[in-house]
Structure 1
Amino acid sequence: MHPTDATMSEDGGGSEDEAGGVQSVDTAVRVLSALVDVGTPLSLKALAERAEMQPPKAHRYLVSLCRSGLAERDTASGGYSLGPLAVRMGLAAIRHLNVVREAGPTLASLRDELGFTAGLAVWGAAGPTFVRFEETNDALIISGRPGSVMPILTSSTGRVFGAYLSRSLTGRFLDRELAGVPHPGATPTGAAQRMTVDEVESLFADVRQHRMARVQGDLNPGLHGLSVPIFDHAGALAGVITVMGSAGLIDTSRDGRNARVLAARGEEVSRRMGWGP
């Protein structure tokens, strides 16, 4: 490294911190983050406040960011927003997101942290379909494998899909379950037949309110489960993470440790998918 590299001023764009990073880039990211967080054009004063820097300093960075296309200035309002290059970078990142890849490491962490089997499901042609499991030695769950299809009304996994997906996708499956005819591949159950349409709507509203679904033997008398949604950058449901265990062993209360940990891990995956509350 050149002797003067480590002492160049921040505004010169060449200073490096002790860890080898470029301070000017870190500062520019603070400015960009302020634009991302708000989503609407910001005045120089408001942007500087959010980036926690003086307006003259923020302005110097904005000049360079606008020149590169990472930011742009609205001629009418004078405010600053993300530029075309920033938008292209965001779209490129979205195209590379994959819920299976993003959630995979979390499943293993959940299994190890909670001691229960964790699975990831996506919406498939036959309905809620598990695509990955991280299993414990629970004999009740060893039969579960990728490709297993869950009913909507009597599995915690299915209830999350039912709560967040459009009825244009879920309607025909719900009709079959309420009529006692599970969709192909799903585990047969007659429990759904005892539900009214109003009860179904109330069930889904409860899932949305708590951002979590739970079952206690609804599908399998010896099996309890908790499920949380995974959202993508647009706020759409991308998948569902479920932890499951034998009755008497797993606590499925919404204020219990399992629920708290699962909710936190699910939100982490959603954020990696580009979601923001």
Structure 2
Amino acid sequence: MKETRPDTNDGRRSIQSVETGFRLLQALVEAAVPLNLRDLAARAAMTSAKAHPYLVSFTRVGVVQQDAVTSQYELGPFALQMGLISLQRLEPVRVALPHVKRLAGQIGHTLAIAVLGSHGPTMIHISEASYPVHVNMRQGTVMSMRHTATGHVFAAWLPHKVAKHYIDREIGDLAVVTSISPDRPDDDALQALAANVRRAGLAQALGNPLPGIDALSVPVFDHSGHIVLALTSLGPSSLFDASENGPLARALLACAADISAQLGYRPSG
């Protein structure tokens, strides 16, 4: 192996051949399908003759495997083990927190993280707005699946039976402190609402359940495509842009997409 000169970016020494070989692994990950030597080398911007010794070594240690019939290369069993261990160690909230804190500082509005708890969507982190907001919401607050943007996000992306369980159980549940609206939309109405939320990619609440307070909520997904948390921002209607295509909505969606990607989520299509 050839050792490089000190890296000009951070002053640390690195192994050039490791970084070169990594391009082959990166190409396999991005392709997500087996590749022959020529195509794999081309994607890694190197010749087949240069790529082949790296692939021999990667195959010997189980990072890459080669099909005996097609001769195509794909990620090997050890690469799979590394990926699984990495996913097991990822904590969605831990991953999300730096993103949320950074975005909260940029938008100036209250920004919260909710996860699915025993009573329903539960706020577990709140970054307060740069201005006073008179909202009875704190860590541990359970958000109504029927009447809040946060709840609508979970209702839209949870399996229907799971969502219905939480929707049904919140009736009369004093722990769901934001379920204050007298309206009780039926199952058909809730399913239609969930379909609209999925189509928009976010949930919107305008003065409901709290008059004068608007909110936007977006989902975060894990590597299996399951919703693991929601990001919700809210503020007074006079200051808060709750439009589905506005700058705030775009910022929330971009933040959620970054967190989801870090958790291993890859959108289909």
Q: Same fold judged by TM-score > 0.5?
A: yes
The one of 181, 189, 203 aligned to 1:190: 181
Q: Distance in 2 between matches of 1:31 and 1:170?
A: 42
Matched, 1:270 2:264: no
What is the count of residue pairs matched by the alignment? 261
Deviation at 1:16, TM superposition (A): 4.6
Q: Which moved more, 1:208-217 or 1:197-206?
A: 197-206
Q: Deviations over 1:83-137 (max 9, x none)?
A: 1111111111111101111111122212210010110000111010111111124
Q: Give ranges in structure 2 of 5+ residues lacking alignment.
A: none
Q: Give ranges in structure 1 of 5+ residues lacking alignment.
A: 1-11
The one of 210, 213, 219 aligned to 2:200: 210
Matched, 1:168 2:161: yes
Q: Deviations over 1:40-86 (max 9, x none)?
A: 32111221222222222221211111112111111122111111111
Give the partner amino acid of 1:242.
T
Give the 5 Å matches for 1:15-30.
Answer: 15-16=4-5, 18-19=7-8, 20-30=13-23
Q: Which moved more, 1:259-268 or 1:198-207?
A: 198-207
Where does residue 156 of structure 1 map in the other structure?
149
The one of 25, 35, 41 aligned to 1:42: 35
1:111/1:134 contact within 8 Å kept: yes
Deviation at 1:192, TM superposition (A): 4.1
Where does residue 106 of structure 2 map in the other structure?
113
Give the 5 Å matches for 1:84-95.
Answer: 84-95=77-88
Q: Distance in 2 between matches of 1:184 and 1:99?
A: 28
SS at match of 1:243: strand
Give the partner amino acid of 1:14.
E
2:28/2:34 contact within 8 Å kept: yes
Give the partner amino acid of 2:255.
R
Deviation at 1:182, TM superposition (A): 4.8
Where does residue 237 of structure 1 map in the other structure?
227
Q: Distance in 1 between matches of 2:188 and 2:2?
A: 62
Give the partner amino acid of 2:107.
L
SS at match of 1:160: helix
User: With structure 1 as the length reference, what TM-score do the two structures score?
Assistant: 0.88
1:225/1:245 contact within 8 Å kept: yes
- Percent of paired sites with the same residue: 36
Q: Distance in 2 between matches of 1:274 and 1:16?
A: 33
Q: Distance in 1 between matches of 2:202 and 2:122?
A: 18
Deviation at 1:234, TM superposition (A): 1.1
Matched, 1:133 2:133: no
Say if 1:182 and 1:254 are closer, same or farther in 2 by CA, change over 3 A: farther
1:43/1:78 contact within 8 Å kept: yes
1:165/1:237 contact within 8 Å kept: yes
Say if 1:97 and 1:252 are closer, same or farther in 2 by CA, change over 3 A: same
SS at match of 1:77: coil
1:72/1:81 contact within 8 Å kept: yes
Q: Distance in 1 between matches of 2:182 and 2:86?
A: 43
Give the partner amino acid of 1:127.
G
Say if 1:13 and 1:72 are closer, same or farther in 2 by CA, change over 3 A: farther
Q: Distance in 1 between matches of 2:203 and 2:196?
A: 8
User: With structure 2 as the length reference, what TM-score do the two structures score?
Assistant: 0.90
Matched, 1:249 2:239: yes
Where does residue 64 of structure 1 map in the other structure?
57
Deviation at 1:191, TM superposition (A): 5.2
